[in-house]
Chains A and B, each alone.
Chain A
Amino acid sequence: MSGQAGALEARGLVVRYGGQAAVNGLDLSLDPGSVLALLGPNGAGKTTTVEVCEGLRDRDEGEVRVLGVDPAGAPDSLRARVGVMLQGGGAYPGVRVREMVGLVASCAADPLDPDWLVDTLGLTSCARKPYKRLSVGQQQRLALACAVVGRPELVFLDEPTASLDPQGRRLVWDLVRALRADGVAVLLTTHLMQEAETLADHIVIVDHGRVVAEGSPDELTAAGADRELRFRAAAGMDLHLLAAALPEGCTASEPTAGSYLVEGAIDPQVLSTVTSWCARQGVLADDLRVARRSLEDVFLELTGRELRS
């Protein structure tokens, strides 16, 4: 594996807790200046994977290179180049916001101005509050400040918006885009589809410690059943005629009474076939929509619909 190519490369990563494999043969690749989202349900192995890459956890098998360096044991040389946002933060219970950002800034050679960062992340009003009295959202923004204050080449963000309100989420998204634009590589974990879809150049969907799908947001949502066409019309129409008129590979169904679904490669020809078929039946197709699968559909399809603990 060449160390120079990517900001992060992992091949065949395995981490076991007791006999159980939390991460089971994971491959990852992150280019400099791009954003990789690890998307998965709770307990999929996202945090474990990130902790291995940060050097905070030992791996059992596999090769990992972070900025060309093996992260095992978190060598000093590597920690000076990466920024880490831990899930659940991490700070002295009595420390004030400004003090904690200042402490982490003091560890870097050429840090961002802590006062500016505290202000930018909307923490000025609580800059003198002790950590234990901050809201979860404020603690999370402080954790984000600690991750970026040292001007790292690579930033790990473990569920960066999990407890934020919509404004806070926008702010974090804006910041991640700015990091990317300035050439910082970002590895983020999330279980929010929209977050992965909006921010990431590349999404890796993990479940049970394995990659179940990966690609750009476009590739993932376009894969499989390309598109779907939905419309409403009188219930109980005979679909055989429609099915016969549709091109090969397209199927028609009526999932709920009066609501029809055509799946397959929906092109203008298919659209026209459907509308003219409706016209021949003497019904007006209503609320006709061509929809791509959302990332959420892909995600639920791959990881199942049962609830995770």
Chain B
Amino acid sequence: MTSFEAGTFTPAPGRGPLGRMLATQVGLETRLALRQGEQVLLTLIIPLALLVGLSLLRVVPLPEPRPAAALGTVLALAVMSTAFTSQAISLGFDRRYGVMRRLAATAIPRWLIVLGRLGGMAAVVLVQLVVLGAVALALGWRPDPGSLGAVLLLVVLGTAAFGAVGVLLGGSLRAELVLAVANIVWFVLLFAGGVLVPAAALPGPLAAVVVLLPSGALAEGLRATLLGGGPTPGQLVVLLLWALVAGAVATRTVRWS
């Protein structure tokens, strides 16, 4: 005799609907990212503080109108924080805690696990776009409806490029090492990677390198677009190449556990 009613565990095997699996996983990954203090600091608080600071204070040289240029800077930072740093760190620790093995032992197809992670990342970027856009409007940003398509294209390409590098990092090294490297790289790229300080204001040799980095290409492209111009083909190609090369390497080196 057991304390369970007979028939409680009678087998009823089968895979859940793909849509429900995806929705549950994306919802969970998004909540996890927005609930974790360190991640929110990185993905929302710091970009918000910088948006307000850059728009109102004249510490860093920025072209006019300042709110539009500041929005370009913080959108690039926000994408980098979410797709690269936050993604790499959470992947590193998820692997440490056996999430990948746990998911691999359920009926979720492998491609859906990857899609779920990407979905969670996209949802966070969307939240960032809405929040940062709304605050920029309040600070005096007057969007040009014609440029929003280019902004979106840059954000998608930037997310792909940083996301691929983030997965490559988070999926290959030990969790503590991922944490250290992801934060250091974030810091270096913020100050010397063309995000906070435009490439034009950096020393010549550094500026030449910066425009080839995803940070430089994304931030320069976003600032130019939001100030009334648009991304150069070079910036789009740089982002695309980073996404493709890092993605290709990641599919070979990333370990699931």
State A111–B8 Cα separation when bound (angstroms). 11
Residues of B within 8 A of A179 (CB): 9
Whole-angstrom distance between the Cβ of A149 and the nearest chain B Cβ: 10
A interface with B by C-beta (< 8 Å): 54, 56, 74, 76, 79-81, 84, 86, 88-95, 99, 102-112, 131-132, 146, 148, 150-153, 174-175, 177-179, 181-184
- Residue pair B105, A178 in contact (C-beta under 8 Å): no
- Residue pair A79, B106 in contact (C-beta under 8 Å): yes
State A45–B160 Cα separation when bound (angstroms). 42
Residues in B7-34 with C-beta less than 8 Å from chain A: 7-16, 20-21, 24-25, 28, 31-32
State A246–B6 Cα separation when bound (angstroms). 51
State A90–B2 Cα separation when bound (angstroms). 28
- Residue pair A184, B9 in contact (C-beta under 8 Å): yes
State A105–B9 Cα separation when bound (angstroms). 14
Name 15 extra pairs, CB < 8 A, besides A89-B97, A90-B99, A150-B13: A74-B104, A81-B11, A81-B13, A84-B105, A90-B98, A91-B97, A95-B32, A103-B28, A107-B15, A108-B16, A111-B16, A146-B102, A182-B7, A182-B10, A183-B10
Q: Does B61 contact A (CB under 8 A)?
A: no
- Residue pair B9, A182 in contact (C-beta under 8 Å): yes
- When C-beta atoms are compared, the residue in chain B nearest to A108 turns out to be B16
- Residue pair B13, A56 in contact (C-beta under 8 Å): no
Report whether over half of chain B's contact residues are helix, strand or loop; otherwise say mixed.
loop
- Residue pair A80, B28 in contact (C-beta under 8 Å): no
Kindly supply a per-residue 1/0 record for chain B positions 38-80, scoring 1 wherever the CB is within 8 Å of any chain A CB and 0 otherwise.
Answer: 0000000000000000000000000000000000000000000
Residues of B within 8 A of A89 (CB): 97-98, 102
- When C-beta atoms are compared, the residue in chain B nearest to A32 turns out to be B11
State A76–B15 Cα separation when bound (angstroms). 8
State A206–B11 Cα separation when bound (angstroms). 29
State A105–B8 Cα separation when bound (angstroms). 15
Residues of A within 8 A of B9 (CB): 112, 148, 151, 178-179, 182, 184
Report whether over half of chain A's contact residues are helix, strand or loop; otherwise say mixed.
loop
For the complex of A and B, the 3 pairs showing the least CB-CB separation, nearest first, are A109-B14, A90-B98, A90-B102
Q: Does B234 contact A (CB under 8 A)?
A: no
Count of interface residues, chain B, beta-carbon cutoff 8 Å: 37
- CB < 8 Å: which of B24, B35, B99, B104 contacts A91? B99
- Residue pair A151, B107 in contact (C-beta under 8 Å): no
A-B Cβ contacts below 8 A, count? 129
B interface with A by C-beta (< 8 Å): 2-4, 6-16, 20-21, 24-25, 28, 31-32, 35-36, 93-94, 96-99, 101-102, 104-109
State A111–B107 Cα separation when bound (angstroms). 12
Residues of B within 8 A of A54 (CB): 105
State A268–B36 Cα separation when bound (angstroms). 71
- Residue pair B94, A152 in contact (C-beta under 8 Å): no
- When C-beta atoms are compared, the residue in chain A nearest to B14 turns out to be A109
- When C-beta atoms are compared, the residue in chain B nearest to A77 turns out to be B15
Whole-angstrom distance between the Cβ of B242 and the nearest chain A Cβ: 27
State A182–B97 Cα separation when bound (angstroms). 32
Whole-angstrom distance between the Cβ of A6 and the nearest chain B Cβ: 15
State A166–B2 Cα separation when bound (angstroms). 17
Whole-angstrom distance between the Cβ of A186 and the nearest chain B Cβ: 10
- CB < 8 Å: which of A81, A91, A110, A148 contacts B102? A91
Whole-angstrom distance between the Cβ of A13 and the nearest chain B Cβ: 19
Whole-angstrom distance between the Cβ of A246 and the nearest chain B Cβ: 43
- CB < 8 Å: which of A86, A99, A183 contacts B105? A86
State A7–B144 Cα separation when bound (angstroms). 64
- Residue pair A150, B107 in contact (C-beta under 8 Å): yes
Residues of A within 8 A of B20 (CB): 106
State A174–B20 Cα separation when bound (angstroms). 32
State A89–B12 Cα separation when bound (angstroms). 23
- Residue pair B98, A88 in contact (C-beta under 8 Å): yes
Q: A91-B98, A103-B25 are in contact. Are A152 and B11 (CB under 8 A)?
A: yes
- Residue pair A76, B99 in contact (C-beta under 8 Å): no
- Residue pair A103, B24 in contact (C-beta under 8 Å): yes
- Residue pair B15, A181 in contact (C-beta under 8 Å): no
- CB < 8 Å: which of A56, A175, A181 contacts B101? A56
Whole-angstrom distance between the Cβ of A93 and the nearest chain B Cβ: 5
State A86–B108 Cα separation when bound (angstroms). 16
Residues of A within 8 A of B25 (CB): 103, 106
- Residue pair A131, B97 in contact (C-beta under 8 Å): yes
Whole-angstrom distance between the Cβ of B101 and the nearest chain A Cβ: 5
